[in-house]
Amino acid sequence: MSDPNLLSVLRIAELVGGQVQGDASLTVSGIAPLDEATDRDLTFAADERFAARLAQSRARAALVGPAVQAPGKTLILVADVPAAVAAVLALWDKGHDLPPAGAHPSAVIDPSAKLGPDVAVGPGVVIGRDVTVGAASVLCAGVKLAAGVSLGSACCLAEGVVVRARCVIGDRVRIGPNSVIGHDGFGYFQSGGTHRRVPHIGHVVIEDDVEIGSCCCVDRAKFSATRIGAGTKLDNLVQVAHNVRIGRNCIIAAHVGIGGSVRIGDNVFLMGHAAVRDNITIGSNVQVAALSGIVSDIPDGAAVGGIPARPGRETLRIWQAQARLPDLIRRVRDLEARLASLEQPKDNL
């Protein structure tokens, strides 16, 4: 029996629009990094910095940028190596054991719900009243869609995702396992010495092509909507508080926490463990370094880091100065000791 994963270099080159140098009939059955690839894998090297490692790799074929040379290897030359790698990965993507189209017998679907063609509903899924689900969307085991939820076409909600009442999700949205969309925000007021909950009557809007990782929380708005713009990607364990507005094509890495009513522009990068205080505005095209604390507004195009976050170059100077502090402290103590000895009264001879 032939290996269904086996692909020729020529077939891959046709897929990615690449040019073959070497044996186009060579076959591979997977893709792997330079140091892990076997002689049955395709590997990749974006530029000449990786040429030495490519020469030592066990892989016989590689996706490479135009400037890369590797004698003895079969090369597929492409203009954009990351894009080509993504296209090849899709060839071997088996869908992570997604449920087939149709409804599993254990699913609970309210009669008022409207499901488009080719929707897949996995085991234990609960779909509430007046829910709409677009064509070819996939609901994995244990997903719960509360009353009035609107889910677009070609979406994929992984195991255990909860979408609470009236939330709106666009097309081609992917949400990882155990994420919660539309739970109440963290809003309280003090009365009589106790914390009392503020009702949250808004909802969440997630626009087209958004991807949300595992165990994320996107809180419902107190009023109006918490919104995530089209094309934005959230890593695992991200917290988005009530009434936050995130723009288009943002990247938000793991463990980022965004306080209530924050406004974030388009094309913003928030790296891991960054924290954003409530009611802050972050402009478009901003880059925030990992482990940063945002406590004031940031203008368009800025690159910031540190706690509290400052312009990137200023933060680097502070970090460099901090590294010199132990030596500076020793020098100050030595100078203090020398000064004290000079100030001691001299005995008259």
Does residue 349 carry a pLDDT above 80? Answer: no
Q: What is d(CA 312, CA 218) in angstroms, rounded to the nearest whole number?
A: 29
**For residues 306-312, average pLDDT:** 91
Does residue 257 carry a pLDDT above 80? Answer: yes
pLDDT at 134: 98
The pTM (predicted TM-score) of the whole model is 0.88
pLDDT at 347: 63
pLDDT tier at 348, thresholds 50, 70, 90 = low
Instruction: Dump the DSSP string for 256-322.
Output: -EE-TT-EE-SS-EE-TT-EE-TT-EE-TT-EE-TT-EE-S-B-TT-EEETTTTEEHHHHHHHHHHH
SS3 11: helix
Q: What is d(CA 174, CA 165) in angstroms, rounded to the nearest whole number?
A: 19
Pairing of strands 132-133, 150-151: parallel
pLDDT tier at 346, thresholds 50, 70, 90 = low
Least confident span in 232-241, 264-273, 321-330: 321-330
SS (H, E, C) 24-51: CCCEECEECCCCCCCCCEEEEECCHHHH
Do residues 274 and 290 lie in contact, with contact meaning Cβ atoms separated by under 8 Å?
Answer: yes
| Longest Cα separation, the chain | 110
pLDDT tier at 2, thresholds 50, 70, 90 = low
Pairing of strands 7-8, 27-28: antiparallel
**For residues 77-90, average pLDDT:** 95
Q: For 150-186, write each residue's pLDDT tens digit.
A: 999 999 999 999 999 999 999 999 999 999 999 999 9
Q: Return the higher-pLDDT residue of 4 and 246.
A: 246
pLDDT tier at 343, thresholds 50, 70, 90 = confident
- The architecture of the domain spanning 102-310 is 3 Solenoid (2.160)
SS3 15: helix
pLDDT tier at 1, thresholds 50, 70, 90 = very low
Give the residue extent of every domain in the chain.
7-91, 102-310
Beta carbons within 8 Å of 131's beta carbon, 6+ residues apart: 110, 112, 113, 114, 145, 146, 147, 148, 149, 150, 151
Q: For 90-144, write each residue's pLDDT tens digit.
A: 888 877 789 999 999 999 999 999 999 999 999 999 999 999 999 999 999 999 9
Could you give the residue numbers annotated as active site? Answer: 242
Q: Return the higher-pLDDT residue of 95 and 77.
A: 77
CATH of domain 7-91: 3.40.1390.10
Element (H, E) at 249: none
Does residue 261 carry a pLDDT above 80? Answer: yes
- Name the packing angle between helices 9-16 and 81-91 (round to 10°): 120
Beta carbons within 8 Å of 125's beta carbon, 6+ residues apart: 103, 104, 107, 108, 109, 139, 140, 141, 142, 143, 144, 145
Task: Give me 349's structure tokens.
Answer: 């001879």
Q: Return the higher-pLDDT residue of 346 and 127.
A: 127
